[in-house]
Amino acid sequence: MTPAQQIKMGTDLMQRGELDKARHIAEQTVKAHPRNSAAFALLGEIVFRKKQIPEAIRYIDQAVELGPNNVNRVIQKARCYVVFGDIGTAKAAVQRALELQPDSPDQFLLLAAVLVRCDAHGEALAIYQRVKEQHPKNVDARRGLATAFRILGQAQEAEVECDWVLNEHPDDYEIIYLRSSLRKQSEDHNHVDELVSRLKCGAKDWRGTVQIAYSLAKELEDLSEYSESFKYLQQGATLRRRHTRYDVQNDIKIFDTISKTFTPRLISEKEASGYSSDAPIFVLGLPRTGSTLVERVISSHSDVHMAGELNDFALELVKLTTQANNGKSVPRLELPQAAAALDMAQLGRNYIDSTKDSAGSTKHFIDKLPLNFLYIGFIHLALPNAKIVHIKRNPMDACYAIYKYLFKQAYPFSYDLEELAAYYIAYHRLMEYWRKLLPGVIYDIRYEDLVANQESESRRLLKYLGLEWQDACLNFHLNQQASATGSASQVREPLYSSSVGKWCHYEEELDSLAVTLKNEGVEIT
């Protein structure tokens, strides 16, 4: 059998999902033909699909070294490094691919997708526009434009692209959901009847049904049809949960392990051993609680860059624990204890190095990954001069805001109210533990206080951060930086209070959630 035949066999097995068999074929091919770029590329792709990213990188790097002028290999490298979190290497691969094939629309679209993953939305927009100019009926370019325009705050332009896509492809459910999110719907301008009709007729798959249901719930809430809105929201969430593999107890075990690992003794032993950089500002908490608003206020200051939701801290922590474990991955439940033995200065230094391509050129940058609240202890030990800002919000408003938002992949606890309550309680207890263990380290800011007293709360926040007051921080809605979060449209508007107490429209529907929280000592008022 020739190498080409072996590679085809391995590719066919991979496409059918038989990854172990495919890997065996690819490994045999690589062993027999160690200079075959395509064999290494196949092995890298198989391992990538098995989510073994560091190993995949090793094979794909070898494929590119053996075939440096193969644009598909270079794009494969860019995609792999994006997932790994090495944005600098990913961008370099993007530029190399552009040099190799400057005129292919398919390659341009792949490159734009990589740029989006790198949070380079302006650059991605330019590529989508270029493809549209050359191929005005390219649906992928128009879809990309719709998303990029939304992230960059150009809602009208995004809606134009959504309408075009839906005219060509009426069953593009992601675009249907995106369209509903672009603005607050009105009595005169909404898609409720269309969405109801779509649900009655049925979508092509369960994902489409979920996206239509969430779109309908959002638009009905805009129209103050609260009971109907919740009915469709629950329908969509229940269906989404049915297709999600998740056990909230696994997360709760992690929370418990973290709090047991971080003892006063550990803090006293390691507190003076971190890396000295004061560049990072960590804005963290649960999603949908106001972190994007706080991020915008801070990043409107001339000394601060908005780096987005970075996975770098967790990635560097996992990398170092893997290295310390002779290259073997540490089970998730054992990770906190294993990581506690790390050189904290090295962890801090590695994090700062990993963020260089995201951090901008200002004195400080914001890392707004919500789930960094899990790593507060590690952040403090590794980067003792970093600032940590925690967003608090009324628990019922927070839970409802999480429940009503359709996340692409993250936060699987958000689709079931019982699981959401359990997760919230575990989060609440962990935050109380961090405050007790690390007094004065965490700056809590209440979303409701910021909305009610914007200037005084903003001034207090900047004072804590050691930043001189700038009036631009009051005009955060004029900040032109991209926002890829669910709040992308809201942060383009002046501060509003309509989200405060929103849950009260659903007191009956959320009664069991309220009872559970109160029974576990969470104050809901």
- Helix axis angle for 192-201 and 206-222, nearest 10°, is 150
Interstrand relation of 364-367 and 304-306 (parallel, antiparallel or unpaired): parallel
Tokens for 99?
Answer: 């040099």
Predicted local confidence at residue 492, as pLDDT: 45
d(CA 5, CA 10): 9
What's the pLDDT tens digit per position in 173-219?
999 999 999 999 999 999 999 999 999 999 999 999 999 999 999 99
Residue 451: burial class (beta carbons within 10 Å; 0-12, 13-18, 19+): middle
Handedness of CA 249, 252, 253, 254 (dihedral sign): positive
Q: Determine, yes or no, domain membership for 413.
A: yes
Check the CA dihedral 443-447-448-450 and report its sign.
positive
Q: Which amino acid is at 504?
A: C
Query: Which structure tokens are listed for 22?
Result: 């495919």
Residues 392-451: tens digit of each pLDDT: 999 999 999 999 999 987 899 999 999 999 999 999 999 999 999 999 999 999 999 999
Q: Does residue 487 surpass a pLDDT of 60?
A: no
Which structural domain, as residue segments, surrounds residue 460?
Answer: 248-490
Q: Bigger pLDDT: 358 or 269?
A: 269
Domain CATH code at residue 287 = 3.40.50.300
What's phi and psi for 61, nearest 5 deg? -60, -40
pLDDT tens-digit readout, 151-162: 998 999 999 999
Residue 143 buriedness (CB in 10 A; 0-12 / 13-18 / 19+) = buried
Report the number of secondary-structure helices (H) and strands (E) in the chain: 26, 5
Asked if residue 407 belongs to a domain, the reply is yes
How many domains is the chain built from? 1
From 88, 146, 156, select the one nearest 121 (Cα to Cα): 146
Instruction: For residue 517, name the pLDDT band (cuts at 50, 70, 90).
Output: very high
Q: Which tokens sit at 247?
A: 């056990």
Could you report how far apart the first and last alpha carbons of the chain are, in Å?
Answer: 71
Q: Is residue 283 part of a domain?
A: yes
Query: Is residue 390 within 8 Å of residue 431, measured between CB atoms?
Result: yes
Q: Which residue type occupies 191?
A: H
Nearest to 256 by CA among 374, 418, 388: 374
Q: Which residue has the tokens 């507190």?
A: 271
Using one digit for the tens of pLDDT, what is the confidence trace for 44-99? 999 999 988 889 999 999 999 999 999 999 999 998 988 887 777 888 898 898 88
For 305, phi then psi, to 5°, come to: -110, 140
- Per-residue confidence band for 253, with pLDDT thresholds at 50, 70 and 90: very high
b/e 171-189 (16+ beta carbons within 10 angstroms → b):
ebbbbbbbbbbbeebeeee
Predicted confidence at residue 161, as pLDDT, reads: 98
Kind and range of the H or E run holding 390: strand 387-392
Question: Which helix (H) or strand (E) is 151 found in, with range?
Answer: helix 139-151
* Helix, strand or coil, per DSSP, at residue 238: helix
Q: Give a yes or no: residue 104 inside a domain.
A: no
Four-CA torsion 3, 8, 10, 13, nearest 10 degrees: -160
Cα distance between residue 39 and residue 380, in whole Å: 44
Strand partners, 387: 281
CA-to-CA distance for 260 and 254, rounded, in angstroms?
10
d(CA 228, CA 217): 7
Amino acid identity for residue 426 in this structure: A
Tokens standing for 474? Answer: 């009051």
The β-bridge partners of 389 are 283, 443
Measured CA to CA, the distance from residue 296 to residue 70 in angstroms comes to 41
In a domain, 357, yes or no: yes
**Residue 439: inside a domain, yes or no?**
yes
Strands 364-367 and 280-284: parallel
- Which of 39, 70, 71, 45 lies closest to 57, judged by CA? 45
DSSP class of residue 283 equals: E
What's the sign of the alpha-carbon dihedral 351, 355, 360, 365? negative
Residue 480 has pLDDT above 90, yes or no: no
Reported as a single tens digit per residue, the pLDDT across 354-401 is 998 889 899 999 999 999 999 999 999 999 999 999 999 999 999 999
Give residues with Cβ within 8 angstroms of 463, minimum separation 6: none
Which DSSP string do the residues of 333-374 spell out, in sequence order?
Answer: GGHHHHHTTS-HHHHHHHHHHHTTTTS-SSSEEEE--GGGGG
Query: Residue written as tokens 């860019």?
Result: 78
Phi, psi of 280 (to 5 degrees): -80, 140
319 domain-assigned: yes
Q: What percent of the chain has pLDDT over 90?
A: 82
